[in-house]
Structure 1
Amino acid sequence: MSANDLKAASRVQVLDLLRLVAVVGVIFYHYGFRGPPSQGTTQIALPWMASFSQYGFLGVPIFFVISGFVIAYSAEGRTATGFAIARFSRIYPTFLFCMTLTFLALLTMGPPNFTTSFAQWCANLFIAAPMFRQPYMDGAYWSLVVEVVFYAWVAVLMAFKVFPRRLDLIILIWLGLTFANELTIDAPIFERLFLADDSGFFAVGLAIYEFYRGRRDFKLYSIFALSVGTAVFQCLHRATHIDSPAGVSFESGVIVAICLISIAIIFLATRLRQLPLPAGLVMAIGGITYPLYLLHMQLGYVVLSAIQPASVIWAVAAIIAGVLLLSWIVWRFVERPAQRWTKTVLTAEAERRGLPVSTSQVAQPTDVARSLA
């Protein structure tokens, strides 16, 4: 068995394909429903696609559902320190590279429709740039902030030995806080801190993880149903906050259908662990989705605005193809080596400080200690 086969055996391969489907939906949304701003207004790049690409925004909630499952799955066998190192190594090096690449594109090709500054680049080093009164280098980064906050909560709960052992309680408290905020103060700071606008999606993923582990009981079915209902509500709620071009509206039935079908597909995907495809191909598909998400929007908008093509459809197709190729290059030659190096360095530093990164390194109580407990 090759190295790729060994890696693939430890992952749910279908989720790699679903990640790509989700990011393609987001790309359709950004080019077929939204588009590069011009003179303070949004210009739809491919308006003939608006009627169906407007629902591409649901690709982000699909990411969150997958993330809920994957994070619970990846926490197995790790301590809070090991989990934090794994997440940082996975997310930050690629983000730094793609953000800087976008910054350079904005700097050299952006004006007059796009501008940037060194201060904006510095603020984006912390991902949550608005905290420093600077805009995101790419508007798509908002969802990355949501992911990071989710990771932070998971790490904290792992440190207190609560995650993933008490997932039922975590989900119930989380959803309870969500609706308490929604029905009372509806405070933005509360929404950001507790992810009250996205909790249902992550909760669905966490519940699917419990099913994946083989659990079957009425309590889990009830929590899953509650999580799905919350996710559907949040999808509908999100649609009401989208700035739509004049005359464009969202069909609630379509949103509900896409949400439910997507959740069902993700659930079924966790039952089908392997695909009759080369392991390396599946890994590459999963690997390019992150840089593709980071690069497709602002970088593509800058290029599209700079070239002012006579045929927008061919220009958009060429831009997307170029970003796909660039994403593969980033994954193959930047993300993978940077992730390995970062993880190795941080793991060595953690071990030097006596911080275990895996549960197997945690000292087990002796028989005497057990008798005294």
Structure 2
Amino acid sequence: MSLPAAPPQLGDQRRDGAPAAAPVIRQHQPASAPKPRLRVLDGLRIVAAVVVLSAHYVHPVIWGSRENKELFGPIATASRYGWLGVELFFMISGFVICMSAWGRPLGSYLRSRVVRLGPAYWFCALVTGTVMTVYAQFYGGNHPTPSQILTNLTMVQMPLNNPSLDPSYWTLWSEARFYLIFAIVAWKGLTYRRVMNFCWIWTVVSILAPNSGLPVLEAVANQVYSPLFISGICFYLIRREGARVGEPWILLALSWLLMQRYMTDIHGWNTRPGDKLSWAVCVAVVTFFYAVMAAVALGWLDRVNWRWLSVAGAMSYPLYLLHQQVGVTLMEHWSGDVHPYVLILSTTGSMLLASWLVVRFVERPGSAALKRMLERRPVRA
């Protein structure tokens, strides 16, 4: 692409001898100017949520190991890796949080996280607690106590050693730690250099924390999943600054290397009794996620801009919160009376409908009311 012609300088003459007009100086838009919504990220969110859902609905615990393979065949094999959708969630989170925090003061950034996550989570946690109180807790243990349900409303039940109402809620603590430590750089205002320094420091701390003898540091560093959040941030920096900036690509390569190392632990945690997951398949799937996020960063997927993806992306959050404990309890209740495929599809449809209802009648009005409350200032005399 050829460079544009240089604007005429003051004192230059036009061909007719008249002095040339002074060049028009265009001001750059501020970094905080609104940007078009990346609906492709909304699409990736709902895909990740459905992938995680498949791992829980096509599960040997529900159908039995032998029956599971006979009923679902290749679907059963693929669903064994459905938990990897969480890894995609974490990369998207790194991208989106950095993008949404850019140009915002710290207070606005923190309020946006509470407004975005709070209303839907509180409602879904209460629904899940009610279902688990009425029905037997499917994933083992006793019915939740009132204290356990109330403690789950804090979203920090894990560091409080309180059982989560839903096994899927473990990811919320990883997300919360990311939001809190990212507030450090958001406090001073985001710039390319500050964000890159933050990512390098977090990477180094994540590597050193396990052998530091400091449990608090290890908990905050979240070393197993930090490479995914950091990768998402790097992809946003590439999107913002252009593909020619080299430093984010270098950190992405290091983050991928750390990811494949930690995958030896993660895939072991997710291996089912009597089964064995392939480390190579896990790394290949997450590498594919890296490729997709790179395509987003480079603008190659900008044409994926259908408006309905915004609604689908919003549904992914309540779908993730409701699908496991509530959905599997329903499936367990009806598994002896309904054909497996019909049961899975109907349960999935029910969870999608419930998610849309939560977005429409709980999250949107609840978030608006909570935002007004948090932004209300005291009346000064």
Same fold (TM over 0.5): yes
Quick check: which one's helix share is greater? 1
Determine if contact 2:158/2:173 at 8 Å carries over to the other structure.
Answer: no
- 2:199 counterpart (160, 171, 177): 171
Tell me the residue number matched to 2:5: none
SS at match of 1:131: coil
In structure 2, what is the Cα distance between the partners aligned to 1:313 and 1:188?
A: 45
Cα separation, partners in 2 of 1:111 and 1:208, compared to 1, 3 Å: closer
Instruction: Answer yes or no: is 1:224 the counterpart of 2:252.
Output: yes
Q: Secondary structure at the match of 1:130?
A: coil
Unaligned runs of 5+ in 2: 1-33
Question: How far does the alpha carbon of each residue in 1:296-352 deviate from its partner, in whole angstroms, 9 at most, with x for none?
Answer: 000012112223433333222211110011001111111111112211221224x86
Q: State the match for 1:12 in structure 2.
A: 38
Conserved 8 A contact 1:96-1:125: yes
What percentage of aligned pairs have identical amino acids? Answer: 28
2:271·2:277 contact (CA, 8 Å) conserved in 1? no
- What is the CA–CA distance in structure 2 between the aligned matches of 1:346 and 1:20, rounded to whole Å? 29
Deviation at 1:161, TM superposition (A): 4.1
Report the counterpart of residue 359 of structure 1 in structure 2.
Answer: none
Separation (CA, whole Å) in 1 of partners of 2:60 and 2:322: 16
Q: CA deviation at 1:83?
A: 0.3
Q: How far apart, CA to CA, are the structure 2 residues paired with 1:323 and 1:205?
A: 28
1:90-101 counterparts in 2 under 5 A?
Answer: 90-101=116-127
- Residues 1:29 and 2:55 are matched in the alignment: yes
Distance 2:148 2:192 in 1: 37
TM superposition score normalised by structure 1: 0.83
**Residues 51 and 82 in structure 2, CA contact (< 8 A), matched pair in contact too:** yes
Distance in 2 separating the partners of 1:196 and 1:145: 13
Matched letter for residue 156 of structure 2: A
Aligned runs of 1:78-227 on 2, under 5 Å? Answer: 78-110=104-136, 115-161=143-189, 165-182=193-210, 184=211, 189-215=216-242, 216-227=244-255
Deviation for aligned residue 1:10: 2.5
Tell me the residue number matched to 1:262. 289
Compute the RMSD of aligned alpha carbons.
2.8
- Figure out how many residues of one structure are paired with residues of the other and give that number: 339
Question: 1:344 — aligned with what?
Answer: 372
SS at match of 1:167: helix
The answer for the alignment partner of 2:355 in structure 1 is 327
* CA distance in structure 1 between the aligned counterparts of 2:182 and 2:60, rounded to whole angstroms: 33
Are 2:91 and 1:54 aligned? Answer: no
Evaluate the alpha carbon distance shift between residue 352 and residue 224 of structure 1 in structure 2; reply closer, same or farther with a 3 A threshold: farther
Distance 2:118 2:189 in 1: 25
Q: Is the 8 Å Cα contact of residues 16 and 285 (structure 1) preserved in structure 2?
A: yes
C-alpha offsets along residues 67-110 of structure 1, whole Å, 9 cap, x if unaligned? 00000000022111000000100001110000001111112233
Which of the numbers 308, 321, 333 marks the counterpart of 1:306? Answer: 333
Alignment CA distance shift 1:243-1:115 (3 Å): farther
Give the aligned partner of residue 316 of structure 1. Answer: 344
Correspondence for 1:239 = 267
Once the two structures are overlaid, the 10-residue window that deviates more, 149-158 or 160-169, is 160-169
Greater CA radius of gyration, 1 or 2? Answer: 2
Look up the equivalent residue of 1:254 and give its one-letter code. Answer: V
Ranges in structure 1 where 5+ consecutive residues have no aligned partner: 1-7, 354-373
Question: Contact conserved, 1:9 with 1:274, CA < 8 A, in 2?
Answer: no
Aligned residue for 2:159, secondary structure, equals helix
